Chains A and B, each alone.
Chain A
């Protein structure tokens, strides 16, 4: 009886999401000019998309390993704050981070000025290096958290044992750490690879022209530069095949997403007590912290200066974006609850299939498809907010489901029999049993969705007309028209909105706990 929580809603919602994406795909296919022909520059786009994703994933993971290791075995003041900070890029609007990264690593940025003092040439951020740098900024913390989580799964006793045996560091690494890394790394690599494969906003702002165009960006260009729906369609299909295949490969090895609590117990490491490892760890942690903090501080500092220069259009856009996030989060909750209850009640890993779909369907593909569907019937601009909110919710759904399912499963296992004996079913099960127990997770998932939606610069670029915009789009326009000060102000507002919305939702979830 109780297992039926979400037994009807779950399949309906999943089916609807699937149908929405499928409809987009069919629409896109119908517009594509068959047979598909590919030029030199199209292959270059595919090559670049894959290459930057490989580089971004590898570098993120390579840098994450020593940082995670250092975090796992050191106890210091501010450690838990740092672990929390590692979660920040996940909810940080891409365009805000890009502005911060430009301020720090641009050709006239802080680091170039520093290099100039030593007579070194300035950094060049546009092109592959900029795209990869931004991706590492976003994904190195994610990788660190994933690896840290694995590291902390090694029982302290084992480290005590190797300490007693007096094994040299290399042996410790070989016997304890390497087997663990072998388990965790493929999943982290795969996840980051797939995330970077569908990157749009980073390539839009930091790409250096045709040489560094991702497929997602090429879809946008076909759409906005040439209004060539046929080409946009072909690129969309390409994106689906590429991202779909990689997501399928990534699927088996995908690590679970865990709530941020529970990382606060460092291991006591008898094998790393010397001064040298201690200093090395301090350097790793220090460099990672500076790498994360500097761009964020740049956003805050210049944002405060720019706040007075912010035109009214920005405040209006902020209002639009807030609404968009609220609608999108509402849609997400409506979708995620029945789906996760359904999946939590069933034994098979349906959550994985859904994740696959969410990762493989690119926002711009879905957006293009729905534009094609709406276009002959009505003015797509009127549907801009609805489509954007829906696409944002669908993109957040896999994350939300991964967060919710374990909680659902636990509650259904713990209270299933009790519910039956009490005769609870339907709405009452939700209200009395499930919701209070998954509230923390729901708050976190909603927070993620709200922050992702408010900061999203994707589908909206296809639908928006010149007269209104969401905040990320308005900020991008300000950056483009050389109103850097106003853009900095807008960035701060967007940052506050994203973190604020996340905090409100997350706080609502946690509030129940205490």
Chain B
């Protein structure tokens, strides 16, 4: 009985202490919260200083994140959304659910970044990843002519999927529908998110997968496996800048600000390269890890402004859908 009472007391006390601690809820994409993603390390690092409970909640892939926020609307319990990209900025601002930030940082992005709502946390170039024992195509046309099977992501739910749409559009303009028609028979399947695609590729289900030029670094550094490479395309590679934003309805606005400031600091940025396998938005003082120097840098980089990509998104999506249903 005595034991029971002390246990109960202990449980009550600990839950009381837990209840007093403010909770910061960050919605992000699934691979960010996975065991091998940045989530666990970032959580530990931030909680050391914030005296709070940081909770990462995986809500699908990047584009589905935005749908989730639209769905939850004013009722959302999320304080910060982490994992949108430039192609979604216009649509995200249109919801009116996000608020401004006051973070300034020395970004090491290939472009200059000024936005009062969204803050970049990493960036990279989209690329098709393959096994090195294979002769990879050097552009979309060559890929379309080959018998190679690729897995890509759905542009409606995933930021790489949407990025690919913009990539083809930026490289080929009005010819984009033709490229998609030719690519259609190469597409093994379209997955909801990046994780599913990459899993299928690693399982050997496809020859190539839509990912990033930085993905081979994972295999090289984490697994000492040199068998994976990213195919360099001569029409250039589309760039992704991953962003986070604070929700206007956040119950912990100061904590949310504190988190976003932490996000562009060394503590967060040094975790990114070897967990999210992307280039950090602010190069950490220790520099990039060994192995990143082996990655190729595209000769030409492509990127549409948020306004441009918002303007072409619906049309490009229609072209993509029409080509893929034939």
Contacts and interface: CB of A to CB of B under 8 A. Distances in A.
A484 B204 contact: no
Contact of A208 (B57, B60, B189, B203): B189
Given A126-B205, A466-B60, 19 more contacts: A40-B318, A48-B325, A106-B205, A107-B204, A108-B204, A124-B188, A209-B154, A209-B324, A221-B154, A221-B156, A221-B157, A224-B67, A225-B67, A227-B70, A379-B75, A465-B72, A481-B30, A482-B195, A482-B202
A286 interface: no
Chain A interface mostly helix, strand, loop or mixed?
loop
B112 to A, nearest CB: 31
B318 A41 contact: yes
A224 B64 contact: yes
A225 B64 contact: yes
B324 A210 contact: yes
A227 B206 CA distance: 30
A466 B205 contact: no
B195 A209 contact: no
Interface of B: 27, 30-31, 34, 57-60, 63-64, 67-68, 70-72, 75, 149, 154, 156-157, 184, 187-193, 195-196, 198-199, 202-206, 318, 320-322, 324-326
A481 B321 contact: no
A480 interface: yes
A41 B184 CA distance: 14
A223 B321 CA distance: 17
A211 B325 contact: yes
A209 B187 contact: yes
A484 B205 CA distance: 14
Given A108-B205, A126-B188, A481-B34, A466 B325 contact: no
Nearest to B70: A227
| Nearest 4 Cβ contacts at the A-B interface | A209-B190, A482-B199, A44-B325, A225-B156
A227 B63 CA distance: 11
Nearest to A130: B189
A209 B157 contact: no
B193 to A, nearest CB: 6
Contact of B189 (A39, A209, A480, A482): A209
Nearest to A108: B204
Nearest to B195: A481
B63 A208 contact: no
Contact of B57 (A106, A124, A221, A466): A466
Nearest to A207: B189
A484 B199 CA distance: 9
A513 interface: no
B300 to A, nearest CB: 28
B30 A208 contact: no
Interface string A174-218: 000000000000000000000000000000000111110000000
A41 B154 CA distance: 14
A48 B326 CA distance: 11
B157 A224 contact: yes
B154 A211 contact: no
Given A226-B156, A227-B71, A481-B31, A126 B189 contact: yes
B67 A227 contact: yes
Contacts of B75: 379
Interface in A44-75: 44-45, 48
Given A210-B325, A225-B154, A481-B195, A127 B189 contact: yes
Nearest to B158: A225
20 contacts: A39-B318, A41-B321, A41-B325, A45-B325, A126-B189, A207-B189, A209-B154, A209-B324, A210-B190, A225-B67, A225-B157, A226-B156, A379-B75, A466-B27, A466-B58, A477-B30, A480-B192, A481-B34, A481-B196, A481-B199
A466 B321 contact: no
B203 A211 contact: no
A480 B195 contact: yes
Contacts of B191: 480
Nearest to B63: A225
A209 B189 CA distance: 6
Given A41-B322, A225-B157, A480-B30, A108 B203 contact: yes
A372 to B, nearest CB: 12
Nearest to B187: A209
A118 to B, nearest CB: 18
B276 to A, nearest CB: 15
B26 to A, nearest CB: 11
B34 A466 contact: no
Given A379-B75, A467-B57, A481-B34, A40 B188 contact: no
| Residue with the greatest number of chain B CB neighbours at <10 A, chosen from A40, A225, A484 | A225
